[in-house]
Structure 1
Amino acid sequence: MNFKNIFFSYSRADASDFALRLAVDLKKEGFNVWIDQQDIRAGSEWDLEIEKALETSDCLLFIESEKSVTSTNVLDEVYYALEQKK
């Protein structure tokens, strides 16, 4: 399976800088990375954008941090990705 389209799931509270640096590095290696800070425009319907991005991604990359493991938003993304068999 091709895992070139990656959805990043992380907590902005404590993993934002790491996620952005990793996204830049992976893009340099030819991966297509979807990360909310760069791919959701102001005024967009957040949940709908997340769902569309997950549906078109090959996989979800869960970035574990102290805050991400307790974030309801991150858990929602992970559960939706599992439903989509990502």
Structure 2
Amino acid sequence: MDDASIQHLTEATREKLRQTVSKIERLEEEKKEVAEQIKEIYAEAKAFGFDTKALRQVVKLRKQDRAEREEAEMVLETYLIALGEA
């Protein structure tokens, strides 16, 4: 954007831009806080003796549709068999 383009922005447009940026910044901060909370929960789980790598995998798998997950597992199993790993 050049200076002429910026000057054509109305005050309402500038305010909307400021609000949008503010919302994004607030949400980024909330995302950081949630990430810290998740990290703490994994630390608690580890203290209880849970395998955090396995927990992360379980969380990832539960996000997937069952059919999608089963298909991915079937492909993985096929590849392992082909490589002589299964």
- Using structure 1 for the length normalisation, give the TM-score: 0.31
Give the structure, 1 or 2, with the largest relative contact order (CA under 8 Å, sep 6 or more). Answer: 1
> In terms of Rg, which structure is larger?
2
Structure having the larger proportion of residues in strand: 1
